């Protein structure tokens, strides 16, 4: 499985896209596929400050409830209201319309702790 090359990934199966100091975060295709049909998403409140790899929300599917861990630390500046209203967007478009939230990044050096698309492919292949 090949991951979008413009993203970085966490070992907890979240992706992050950077545009200057703003990070957009979602869960990977592997994560949504493993969860099955997503029926509920609990996202953080705008203004929430979170450390890298901290728990920031919950995804509930017909199979399980899973915590969302943020791959990058910072302050939440936007949440995807469309996903709150229609959680299945995460299943249909995990790398597009199914994004979860945006952060103002606290420290750009945190990127060094994330996985490249190739390293994430290797992680998924080993699971």
Q: What is the pLDDT of residue 108?
A: 86
Name beta bridge partners: 50.
Answer: 74
pLDDT of 2 reads 65
Q: What is the pLDDT of residue 3?
A: 81
Single out the residue of 78, 58, 54 nearest to residue 66, CA to CA.
58
Residue 88, number of CB atoms within 10 A of its CB: 14
* Buried b or exposed e, range 91-120, using 16+ CB within 10 angstroms: beebbeebbbbbbebbeeebeeebbebeeb
Cβ atoms < 10 Å from Cβ of 43: 21
Can you give the residue ranges of every domain in the chain? 8-119
- Here the tokens at position 98 are 């199914």
27 pLDDT above the threshold of 60:
yes
pLDDT in tens, 53-88: 999 999 999 988 999 999 999 999 999 999 999 999
Question: Above 80 in pLDDT, residue 1?
Answer: no
Would you say 98 and 26 are in contact if contact means Cβ atoms under 8 Å apart? yes
Q: What is the CATH number of domain 8-119?
A: 2.40.50.100
Q: What is the pLDDT of residues 83-121, one digit of tens each?
A: 999 999 999 999 999 999 999 999 989 999 999 999 999
């Amino acid at each position: 499985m090949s991951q979008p090359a413009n993203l970085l990934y966490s070992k907890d199966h979240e992706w992050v896209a950077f545009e200057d100091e703003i990070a957009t975060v979602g869960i990977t295709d592997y994560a949504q596929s493993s969860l099955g049909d997503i029926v509920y998403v609990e996202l953080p409140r705008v203004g929430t400050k979170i450390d890298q790899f901290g728990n920031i929300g919950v995804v509930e599917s017909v199979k399980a409830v899973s915590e969302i861990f943020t791959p990058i630390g910072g302050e939440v500046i936007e949440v995807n209201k469309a996903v709150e209203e229609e959680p299945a967007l995460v299943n249909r478009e995990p790398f597009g319309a199914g994004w979860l939230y945006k952060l103002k990044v606290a420290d750009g050096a945190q990127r060094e702790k994330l996985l490249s698309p190739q390293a994430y492919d290797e992680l998924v292949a080993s699971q």
